[in-house]
Structure 1
Amino acid sequence: MPVEFIGMIATQEASEIKRRPGPVVDPDFVRRFARAYEDAGFDRVLIGYSSSRPDGLQVAAYAAAHTDRLGFLVAHRPGFMAPTVAARAFATLDQFSGGRIALHAITGGSDAEQRRDGDYLSKDDRYARTDEYLEILKKAWTSEEPFDHEGRFYRLEDFVSAVRPAQQPRIPIYFGGSSEAAYRVGGKHADVFALWGEPLAETAQQMAAVRAAAAAQGRTTPPRFSVSFRPILGPTEELAWERAHRILHKIRSGYTGEEDFIRDRRGPDGQPQNVGSQRLLAVAAKGERHDRALWTPLAAATGAPGNSTALVGTPETVAQALLDYVDIGVTTLLIRGYDPYDDAIDYGRHLLPLVRAEVERREREQARARQTTPETASETASKTTQPRDETAALGR
């Protein structure tokens, strides 16, 4: 299966080391940013969600109108919009964009962040609501007949939508989370289950947990998997590591770009409530470097509010590190940089081609191996052994 690459766009250029310039919504930058990712060869870009950020569906609509091929993964929190309304909104955008929309369901791991938008449910209740929400959403996209629903969180009668997604049978659902509840609900509904960048062993453990949860829900085909990283590239190993330490120094010297993002995800004690961030901090506490190129101090320095572990090295080193995750079953790689716009261009020039070329080479080898059927192998063996038999007979 070809590897899928996802980037991430925002409405202004900012990161942990870049102070936000100008207005919160900069249309010119959104156009340039989306086109940069399209030109770089990315499959999709993620549009994030928080209680203080611009609306993701509208950002996706604007960016889709200024691109031709790029897909858009729109982060969406169940509970703030009725599922039938969301189904029509996403289906309408999927039609206008020519089938380039996917939904990234994020249930919400911070009570404080949820309450800013008026949601006072507990975490367990939020996941129960997400489960019911996604059931309705999928049915709204696919049902040709009116249907009723009466559940714990939603009740509706005689619903059928005239607008269907351009993609059939429905829009893809990505799902993020690292708690047992996330495994359970995502294992049931997700087409792609998204994880943050942990070491290979820990990532494989999470994948196994999601597969087990999917099987417990009766699924015969488990979700595919996405893993997120912050690659830091350099023309040599030394220069890549020098750049990595400069980024770390900037962050430790004074947080400049993402203060509200950090604030949104911390609990009353200042520590992250979501399990994904807790896991990244635990990995960072075990050591700075893991596997081939995984580097964790940036997660520790920022409190791991999102995907914040780096892969550091030359494009060749980082490409091999990404392929290590492909080897354990990852099909989607979400990467974004600390210099967001310039890094997107560099990834397209130097990183994506290396990964894709190796994946294609492996697929060609596997196709050739499949062509060698047992019958073909038997015939080949017979032809190679026959001359030896005749030589032996002549010798006798």
Structure 2
Amino acid sequence: MPVEFIGMISTHDVSETRPAQGPVVDADYTRRFAQAHEEAGFDRILVAHSSASPDPNQVAAYAAAHTERLGLLIAHRPGFIAPTVAARTFATLDQFSGGRVAVHIITGGHDAEQRRDGDYLTKDERYARTDDYLTVLTRAWTEEKPFDYDGPYYRFADFHSEVRPARQPRIPLFFGGSSDAAYRVGGKHADTFALWGEPLAETAEQIARVRAAAEAAGRTTLPGFSVSFRPILGRTEDEAWGRAHRILDTIRSRGDAFGGRRPILPTGPAAVPQNVGSQRLLAAAAKGDRHDRALWTAPAAATGAAGNSTALVGTPETVAQALLDYVDLGVTTLLIRGYDPLDDALDYGRELLPLVRQEVARRDAATAAATAAAAAASVAARTAAAVAGGVR
């Protein structure tokens, strides 16, 4: 099965190693950033969400208007607008973009961040609300007749939307989180469950838990999985690691993971994250900086694991093989972004994406050939048995 690549755009030039340049909404930069991902061959771009950032729906609409085929993964926090309104918003953009929309559900793992937008529910209550929200959202996209709904968080009568998603039967749902509640709700609703880049053993354990939650919810079609990394490439291993350590030195010297803007959350090595995903990354970093083939956790430790912050370091060939190790676990989507965001996206398109796609295609062809050979051998065996029976 082909692997999907997702990049990530922002509306101005900034990263953990780059001071913010230009206005918060830089239309020219946003356009070039989206087009760079399309040129590089990415399948989608993630448009992130925070209580202080530009509205991701507007950013995605702008990116769609300036690209031709690039998919849009829009981060969305349930609870701030009604699910019926969200259903129409996403379906409208899906129609205008020609079926390019997917939605990334982020329930919210930080009380302080949620309260900036006036949400005072506890974490468990937020996940219960998300469950209710996604039930409504999917029905709003798929129900052909008006319907009533009376759930624990949402209640309405005679809802019907005239705008339906261009993609049928509905817009794909991604889901992020690493807590038991996230596994339960995401396992029930997600088409793709998104994880941050942990070591292989820990990733396999999370995949198993999400699959178990999906089965417990009665699903027969299990979700795919996305894993996120920050690849650092070099022409040689030494060059890649030299660049990696320069990046780490810059992060440590800045002491600000968000480039001078107001941080989404407290950052840095002294920060204590509330969300389980960040806690897991820091736990991996505490065991050592390097794991498996190329995973490097030092940037997570330096930033307090604020966001997807583990790297894969090496030549394009080494990093491609490291990504394929995760594909072997059942990962279907790879979300990658760099510390030099625009230039790295172009480099990934030239040097990394083709290597992974070529190997996945080779494996798929080999599997198809083996399946065909096995089927032919089975037919031959049955034929021979039938002939032998007739001779008797």
TM-score interval for Structure 1 and Structure 2 normalised by the shorter chain:
over 0.9
TM-score by structure 1 length?
0.94
Q: How big is the shift at 1:306?
A: 0.6
In structure 2, the residue matched to 1:106 is 106
Question: What residue in structure 2 maps to residue 337 of structure 1?
Answer: 338
The residue that corresponds to 1:29 in the other structure is 29
Q: Which amino acid in the other structure matches residue 319 of structure 1? A: A
State the number of aligned residues. Answer: 382
Percent identity over the alignment is 71
Runs of 5+ in structure 2 lacking a partner? 385-392
**CA distance in structure 2 between the aligned counterparts of 1:261 and 1:296, rounded to whole angstroms:** 24
SS of 1:311's partner is: strand
Q: Which residue of 2 aligns with 1:283?
A: 284
For each residue in 1:288-315, what CA deviation from the matched residue of structure 2 results, as whole angstroms up to 9, or x when unmatched?
Answer: 1000000000000000011000000000
Conserved 8 A contact 2:51-2:264: no
Conserved in 2, the CA contact under 8 Å of 1:112 and 1:265?
A: no
Report the Cα distance in structure 1 between the residues aligned to 2:58 and 2:329, rounded to whole angstroms. 36
| Partner amino acid, structure 1, of 2:119 | D
**Correspondence for 1:191:** 191
Q: Does 1:41 align with 2:41?
A: yes
Matched with 1:272 is: 273
1:374 CA displacement: 4.8
Alignment of 1:364-383 (within 5 A): 364-376=365-377, 379=380
Question: Shift of the alpha carbon at 1:95?
Answer: 0.3
Q: Distance in 1 between matches of 2:376 and 2:165?
A: 45
> Over the residues paired in the alignment, what is the CA RMSD in angstroms?
1.8
**Normalising by the residue count of structure 2, what TM-score does the alignment of the two structures yield?**
0.95
Relative to structure 1, the CA distance from residue 260 to residue 124 in structure 2 (aligned partners, 3 Å threshold; closer, same or farther) is farther
Deviation at 1:372, TM superposition (A): 1.1
| One-letter amino acid of the structure 1 residue matched with residue 276 of structure 2 | V
SS of residue paired to 1:19: strand
State the shift of 1:74 in Å. 0.2
What letter corresponds to residue 70 of structure 1 in structure 2?
A: L
For residues 261 and 226 of structure 1, what CA distance do their matches in structure 2 show? 28
Distance in 1 separating the partners of 2:373 and 2:279: 48
Question: Does residue 307 of the first structure (1) align with residue 291 of the second (2)?
Answer: no
* Cα offsets for 1:251-274 (capped at 9, x unmatched): 1112355065755267xx941100
* Structure 1 alignment gaps of length 5 or more: 384-396
The separation in 2 between residues aligned to 1:312 and 1:332, in whole angstroms, is: 19
Partner residue of 1:118?
118
Q: Look up the SS of the partner of 2:168 in the other structure.
A: coil
Instruction: Assess, with a 3 A threshold, how the Cα gap between structure 1 residues 109 and 34 changes in structure 2: closer, same or farther.
Output: same
Q: Note if contact 1:14-1:257 (Cα within 8 Å) is conserved in structure 2.
A: no
1-side partners of 2:140 and 2:255: how far apart? 43
1:204/1:328 contact within 8 Å kept: yes
Give, in whole Å, the separation in 1 of the partners of 2:304 and 2:63. Answer: 31
Which amino acid is 2:357 matched to? R
Q: Closer, same or farther in 2 for the Cα pair 1:370/1:274, shift >3 Å?
A: same
Say whether 1:251 aligns with 2:258: no
Following TM superposition, the consecutive aligned residue runs of length 4 or more in structure 1 with deviations greater than 6 angstroms are none
Q: Equivalents in 2 of 1:135, 1:208: separation in Å?
A: 24
Deviation at 1:26, TM superposition (A): 0.4
Q: 1:219 corresponds to which letter in structure 2? A: R
Which secondary structure does the structure 2 equivalent of 1:14 belong to? strand
Letter matched to residue 254 of structure 1: R
1:171-190 equivalent positions in 2, closer than 5 A:
171-190=171-190
Secondary structure of 1:373's match?
A: helix
Cα pair distance change 1:145/1:262, threshold 3 Å: same
* CA positional deviation for 1:143: 0.5
**C-alpha separation in 2, matches of 1:198 and 1:230:** 12
Give, in whole Å, the separation in 1 of the partners of 2:222 and 2:314.
Answer: 33
Per the TM alignment, residue 375 of structure 1 is displaced from its structure 2 partner at its CA by 4.8
Q: Judge conservation of contact 2:43–2:70 (CA < 8 Å) in 1.
A: yes
